[in-house]
Amino acid sequence: MMVALMAVVILAASLAALLQFFGIYCRSLIAASVAQPLSPEIQEVTGITSGAAGPEDFPRVVQLLRLCPDFANDRQQVSAIRGYFWLVKAVRWTLASLLPEVRSWAEMQLAQCAYFAAVALEHRVSSSRTALAAQMHDSR
Amino acid sequence: MPGPTWMLMWILGTLLEVFVVVGIYRSGMVRRYFFLSFYTLLSVAVSIGRFRVLFHYGGVTSAEYRYFYFYSDALLTIALYFAVISLFFQVFEQMRMERYLRFAAVLLLAGTAWFSYAIVSQSSGRILTHFAFELSQNLYFVGLALTYVLWGAIVKLRETRTQLIQVVLSLGIYFSAYAATYALSNLAPGIYPYTRFLFPLIGGILPVTWAYAFWRLPVNARIVPARLLEAAQ
């Protein structure tokens, strides 16, 4: 009985800590990208101007990311942010009608996820160009 | 025998661990992250040992493999405790608290050894896996508590090094995911055939996040942890 009770307490506390650490870790990934400006080319492709991303932009930018070769090796970070995006979206669906301030917080988080994806796209395009230039240089 | 996907993840995880150690060496941070490098190298050695035991004794269900898996896991967790303690030294380096931290580290190790012994001495009549779940669940939960205290110290002392912050946050994710999975397996041992597929995934958290931290982040990158906390609430 005591062993089972301890396992229940550890399970509940660990799940709560997991959600919290995962959320903060994703925020730390996003924070590094927020300060980076987008090139005019990426702004045109994604429709996102610096600091003006919307929550609905994220799935579209992720589709563009899938089309771009991953020379930047950021697949795991993009996957983590995708997980965070769906987590925040679930929070918006469940809590936003009860707490209006949660809605504005969630909207801001979702928009920042979209901006992170746009910055990742920028890196991938730039890495692909570098790789292509190196390949052309080697073939000469 | 584990399936090809599982084996591929295992091999990739081990290679990524080598990549992490090279990343720490390349950025000239071996002294600063000595225990992290030591843990990662130990983890590579344990992976090679597990491969050998797996192929020698024929399968993950063999008693030899299970013994080797769970006891090497406990050893790795204790090595990871030392890595966490070494991060405490970094966070508190301005405050000259080395003596207290050393005392706390010895106390923690002695406490963990005593606790593990207490569980082992009561486990004679119980099946191996159940005992192992309980021990691992407790070891990982202690690791989680340590990481939580370390995160609190980072926020309180306004530590801003992005690399250090991301390493600590990834440890929090790793310990909490393992503690939750073991607690679930401990509560319902019947679901172990399903939860065991989570272990290689969770095991990949540290190599993936640390490889990012040591290869992609500049050494002098800074971040304000209080802002991350405000946004997460």
Query: Is B209 close to A25, i.e. CB distance below 8 A?
Result: yes
Provide DSSP, chain A.
-HHHHHHHHHHHHHHHHHHHHHHHHHHHHHHHHHTSPPPHHHHHHH---TT---TTHHHHHHHHHHHS--TT--HHHHHHHHHHHHHHHHHHHHHTTT-HHHHHHHHHHHHHHHHHHHHHHHHHHHHHHHHHHHHHHHH-
DSSP SS3 for B210: helix
- Give me the number of domains chain B comprises: 1
Do B166 and A28 count as a contact with CB atoms less than 8 A apart?
A: yes
Q: Nearest residue on chain B to A22, judged by CA atoms? A: B173
pLDDT of residue B144: 93
Q: What is the pLDDT of residue B99?
A: 81
Q: At what angle do helices B225-232 and B128-156 cross, to 10 degrees?
A: 120
The interaxial angle of helices B225-232 and A2-34, nearest 10 deg, is: 120
Q: Tell me which residue in A8, A27, A28 faces B187 most closely, judged by beta carbons.
A: A8
Spatial contact of B167 and B36, defined as CB atoms under 8 Å apart: yes
* Domain CATH for B225: 1.20.1070
Q: Which of B119, B142, B166, B228 to mutate to test the interface with A (most CBs of A within 10 A)?
A: B228
CA B54/CA A102 separation, integer angstroms: 50
Cβ contacts below 8 Å, chain A against chain B, sum to 85
Structure confidence at residue B92 as a pLDDT band (50, 70, 90): confident
pLDDT at B64: 84
Residue B43 CA to residue B204 CA, distance in Å, equals 11
- Amino acid identity for residue B133 in this structure: F
pLDDT digits (tens, 9 = 90+) for B172-181: 999 999 999 9
Region B127-140: mean pLDDT is 71
Whole-number pLDDT of residue A99:
82
Q: Name the closest residue on chain B to residue A12, using Cα atoms.
A: B180
User: What does the radius of gyration of chain A's CA atoms come to, in whole angstroms?
Assistant: 19
Nearest to A10 among B183, B227, B229 (CB): B183
Residues 6+ apart with CB under 8 A from B208: A76, B16
- Length of chain B as a residue count: 233
- % of chain B beyond a pLDDT of 70: 90
3-state SS assignment for residue B13: helix
Sequence spans of domains, chain A: 2-138
The two three-digit tokens of residue B54, written as one number: 């797996």
Contact status, residue B211 vs residue B23, Cβ threshold 8 Å: yes
Q: Which of A15, A18, A24 sits opposite B232 (nearest CB)?
A: A24
A-chain CB neighbours of B231 within 8 Å are 27, 105, 109
**Segments forming the whole domain that contains residue B205:** 4-232
pLDDT digit string, tens, across residues B97-128: 778 888 887 887 788 777 767 766 665 555 55
Of all residues in chain B, the percent with pLDDT exceeding 90 is: 38
Phi, psi angles (nearest 5°) of residue B222:
-125, 155
| 3-class secondary structure, B161 | strand
* Contact status of A139 with chain B (Cβ, < 8 Å): no
The pLDDT confidence band at residue A80, using thresholds 50, 70 and 90, is very high
Chain A residues with beta carbon closer than 8 angstroms to that of B221 = 32
Query: How many residues appear in chain A?
Result: 140
Mean pLDDT estimate for chain A: 88
Cβ-contact B84, B171 below 8 angstroms = yes
For chain B, give the mean pLDDT.
Answer: 85
Least confident of A104-118, B51-65, B124-138: B124-138
The string of DSSP codes covering B26-87 is HTT-TTTTHHHHHHHHHHHHHHHHHHHHHHHHTSTTSHHHHHHHHHHHHHHHHHHHHHHHHH
Q: Report pLDDT for A27.
A: 93
What per-residue confidence (pLDDT) applies to B129? 59
Whether the predicted pLDDT of B130 surpasses 70: no
Q: Is residue B231 scored above 70 in pLDDT?
A: no
- Per-residue pLDDT at B233 exceeds 50: no
Of A14, A18, A27, the CB nearest to B232: A27
How confident is the model over B45-69, as a mean pLDDT? 86
Place of tokens 């390349």: B26
Cβ contact A31–B148 (<8 Å): no
At residue B208 the predicted structure's pLDDT band, cuts being 50, 70 and 90, is very high
User: What is the predicted ipTM?
Assistant: 0.87
DSSP-assigned letter for residue A39:
P
Residues in chain A within 8 Å Cβ distance of B180? 10-11, 14-15, 18
DSSP type of residue B152: H
B144 contact residues in A (CB cutoff 8 A): 13-14, 17
- When mean pLDDT is compared across B27-41, B74-88, B190-204, the lowest value belongs to B190-204
